[in-house]
Amino acid sequence: MFGYEFMREAFIASTFIAITAGLVGVFVVSRNMSFLSHTLSEIGFAGASFGILVGISPLAGMILFTLVSSIAVGSLSSESSRREASISAISSLFIGLGILFLSLSSESSSYATNILFGSIVGISSKEVNQLMILALFVIFVFIIFYKPLSFDSFDHIGARAAGLKTRLLSIAFLVTLALSVSIGAQIVGSLLVFVLLTLPGATAKYVVHTVPKLIMVSVGLSLAGVWLGLYLAFVTNWPVTFFISAFEVIAYFLGLGYKNWKLNH
């Protein structure tokens, strides 16, 4: 299958996406932000369709929308940003806006399907380069902030007591989350990008107990999911997103089962 240019591109892009999502996902889970990452992907959908409407790339539109909203969330207190009802209200509004932007633009509905559900054929080599640069940027930010971010994410109260600038860390994290949502959506689609951003991290937590191992398992599961998904999508011609989400969900329940088994033994 690597004889096809588009498959090679899709593979490279997915590899970077999986590494970023797996890495960021560990912190999404430990900061209890699964729900927020779901909302950001819906905001990303609105951003992508806005991009199409005004004639910039969907990726640029997504980055614009998710960055602005993540910074807005970061300037609220952490308590209010987790109020689930207000988050649902905002996400409904953005799905509505996304649909509006798409219907106002003259693009065909296949564009909408690609943004929402992802696609393995739509990626050009220029876009692959953009994704790589963004992914490397996210990884770089994580390396710089690794220690304080781990402290704040796994023990917020302790980090504050130790005098860490937790507000700044929170904004830095939200920015990388926004970028991860935007790049992840290019393959998996904005409707299911949160699968990659939450499930591998949540599964890892059931099987290993140190931060580096959590990252390794999460990135590993995320890579396995997209690679297997791409292969199966190529062979069967079924949507890649189906295979990725099925794989991650199965891994999650196996992880949960393992944890419960261990508790009783």
Q: Site residues (CB under 8 A) for another protein?
A: 30, 146-148, 150-151, 154-163, 204-206, 208-211, 214, 263
Contact 35, 84 (CB under 8 A): yes
Least Å distance between CB 189 and another protein? 29
Rounded to the nearest 5 degrees, what angle is found at the Cα of 226, between the Cα atoms of 111 and 1?
85
Least Å distance between CB 79 and another protein? 12
Least Å distance between CB 32 and another protein? 8
Least Å distance between CB 95 and another protein? 30
Nearer to another protein, 210 or 237 (CB): 210
Nearer to another protein, 166 or 245 (CB): 166
Which are the contacts of 135, defined by CB distance < 8 A and separation ≥ 6?
16, 17, 19, 20, 183
Q: How far is CA 126 from CA 4, 7, 57, 129, 260, in A?
A: 16, 14, 12, 5, 46
Least Å distance between CB 214 and another protein? 6
Q: Where are the alpha helices (DSSP H) in the chain?
A: 5-30, 34-54, 58-75, 78-81, 84-104, 109-117, 125-154, 156-161, 166-188, 193-207, 211-236, 240-263
Classify residue 137 by burial, with Cβ atoms within 10 Å: 0-12, 13-18, 19+.
middle
Buried b (16+ CB within 10 A) or exposed e, 142-162: beebeebbbbbbeebeebeee
Nearer to another protein, 206 or 247 (CB): 206
Least Å distance between CB 259 and another protein? 8
Least Å distance between CB 255 and another protein? 11
Nearer to another protein, 12 or 164 (CB): 164
Residue closest to 127 by CA, chosen among 2, 13, 223, 51: 13
Nearer to another protein, 145 or 231 (CB): 145
Nearer to another protein, 77 or 103 (CB): 77
Nearer to another protein, 66 or 166 (CB): 166
